[in-house]
Amino acid sequence: MIREKQASSANGLFMLVVLFAILAASVYAIILGARMDAAGLVIGGIVGILLSTMGMNGLFIVEPNASQVLILLGDYIGSERRSGFWWTNPFASKKKVSLRVRNFESNKLKVNDHDGNPIEIGAVVVWKVVDSAEATFEVDNYDHFVHVQSEAALRALATSHPYDAHNDGQMSLRGNTNEVAEDLKKEIQGRLQKAGVEVIEARISHLAYAAEIASAMLRRQQASAVISARAKIVEGAVSMVQMALDELSKRDVVHLDEERKAAMVSNLLVVLCSEHETQPIVNTGTLYQ
């Protein structure tokens, strides 16, 4: 595995001055050699011009949050992360790698969740390159590699969790967004470890049932909501009836036998649990014959 190392780069401004000095001295040597009819000076001047011209090829600029990967005759000789104007071996090739934070939104994938229900899911991934050598040499195209592996990790995550939790303590895609986001981040990071990439954040951006079952699942969710609401209403109504009976008994307002208590409980539950307004009925008779 190729890991990033610091390149041996010289200050670009200093080397630029040196190269211009060599170039000026070479031109002066050619002129002087021509006047003195000295072939050695002319040849030396020509060689100096060629060397200074070739040396210019070693100058390069590194922008902030960027890196230049240097390759000499097929060998990796280092990366320059320091922003500024630098000079290296003029025969070395240079490849720019951005170290800035990037993000992308995956396609809306159609997969089956843990319960086998078809769902649509998408995610936003925030990432950056942390090792320019690995990103350049370990994978063919690290940008494309990040996209493909992120979608593969998203598919794996979707199949390991249900859309909705049906049991207490069960983690679901819709109900545990923070936990699911952390699992997705770890899943993607594990797949991108060899590419010199760090995943900063990964979150689900789209989550829905597939169109063919969306209406059925909507009715199911509505039924669950109605059942939950009804259970809460009944629980509150029973508590209020119990409180009413206790207060009547405590204050000695009226003495009710079991049959009258049953009738009172029935009437109160109807009043408290009914979806419509109840109409009062004045009872002038008696429960007994």
| CA distance linking residue 100 with residue 239, whole number of Å | 60
| CA distance linking residue 154 with residue 150, whole number of Å | 6
| Side chain identity at residue 263, one-letter code | A
Structure tokens, 246 = 């206790």
| CA distance linking residue 66 with residue 123, whole number of Å | 26
Rama region for 268: left / alpha / beta (φ>0; ψ in -120 to 50; rest): alpha
| Side chain identity at residue 30, one-letter code | I
What integer pLDDT is reported at residue 283 of this predicted model? 57
Number of H helices, E strands in the chain: 7, 10
Residue 118: C-alpha distances to residues 50, 82, 114, 157, 210 (Å): 68, 49, 10, 14, 5
12-36 and 39-55 are packed helices; what angle lies between their axes, rounded to 10 degrees?
Answer: 160
What integer pLDDT is reported at residue 232 of this predicted model? 76
| CA distance linking residue 113 with residue 206, whole number of Å | 14
- Render each residue's pLDDT in the chain as its tens digit; 289 residues: 788 899 999 999 999 999 999 999 999 998 888 888 788 888 988 999 999 999 999 999 999 999 999 999 989 999 999 999 999 999 999 999 999 999 999 989 988 888 888 888 999 999 999 999 999 999 989 999 999 999 999 999 999 988 887 776 778 888 888 999 999 999 999 999 889 999 999 999 998 887 766 566 666 666 666 677 777 777 777 777 777 777 767 776 666 666 666 776 776 666 666 666 656 665 555 555 5
Centroid of chain to Cα 289: 76
What integer pLDDT is reported at residue 94 of this predicted model? 93
SS3 280: coil
CA-closest candidate to residue 27, choices 11, 8, 48: 48
Centroid of chain to Cα 265: 56
- What is the reported pTM? 0.69
Is residue 171 within 8 A of residue 115, CB to CB? The reply is no
Is residue 80 within 8 A of residue 68, CB to CB? The reply is yes
What integer pLDDT is reported at residue 275 of this predicted model? 62
What integer pLDDT is reported at residue 130 of this predicted model? 94
